[in-house]
Amino acid sequence: MNRISNLRPVEPGQAPGSGIDAAFEAQRRAQLARRPSFDRKARIAQLDRLRDTIRRREVDIIAACAADFRKPASEVKLTEMLPVLQEIQHTKRHLRKWMRPRRAAPTLGVFGTRARVRPEAKGVCLIIAPWNYPVNLSLGPLVSALAAGNSAIIKPSELTPHTSKLIADIVAETFSPDLVTVAQGDAGVAQKLLALPFDHVFFTGSPMVGKIVMEAAAKNLTSVTLELGGKSPTIVGPNANIGKAAKHIVWGKFANNGQTCIAPDHVFVYRDIAAKFNEAVRKEILRVYGKTLEAQKATPDYCRIVNDRHFGRVRGLIEDAKAKGAQILQGGQTDASQNFVAPTLIANVSDDMEITREELFGPILPIIEYVDLDKVIDRINANPKPLALYVFDKSKSFVEDITTRTSSGGVGINLTVVHFLHPNLPFGGVNNSGIGAAHGEYGFRAFSHEKAVMEERHSITHMLFPPYSGFVQRLISIVVRVLG
Give the active site residues: 227
Please choose, from the candidates 361, 12, 68, the residue with its C-alpha nearest in 3D space to the C-alpha of residue 190: 12
Please choose, from the candidates 71, 67, 64, 63, the residue with its C-alpha nearest in 3D space to the C-alpha of residue 254: 71
Distances (CA, A) of 235 to 282, 327, 432: 17, 20, 21
Please choose, from the candidates 373, 375, 421, 417, the residue with its C-alpha nearest in 3D space to the C-alpha of residue 395: 373
Strand partners, 341: 334
Number of neighbours of residue 229 by Cβ within 10 angstroms: 29
Separation CA 200–CA 263 (nearest Å): 27
In 68-218, DSSP assigns E strands to 102-104, 113-121, 124-128, 151-155, 180-182, 200-204
Burial of 12 (0-12, 13-18, 19+ CB in 10 A): middle
Distances (CA, A) of 171 to 141, 147, 313: 13, 16, 33
Neighbour order of strands in the sheet with 344-347 = 327-330, 344-347, 364-370, 266-270, 233-236, 388-392, 410-413
Number of neighbours of residue 207 by Cβ within 10 angstroms: 18
Distances (CA, A) of 428 to 45, 198, 388, 408: 28, 21, 9, 9
Distances (CA, A) of 213 to 153, 158, 229: 15, 17, 15
Separation CA 111–CA 68 (nearest Å): 62
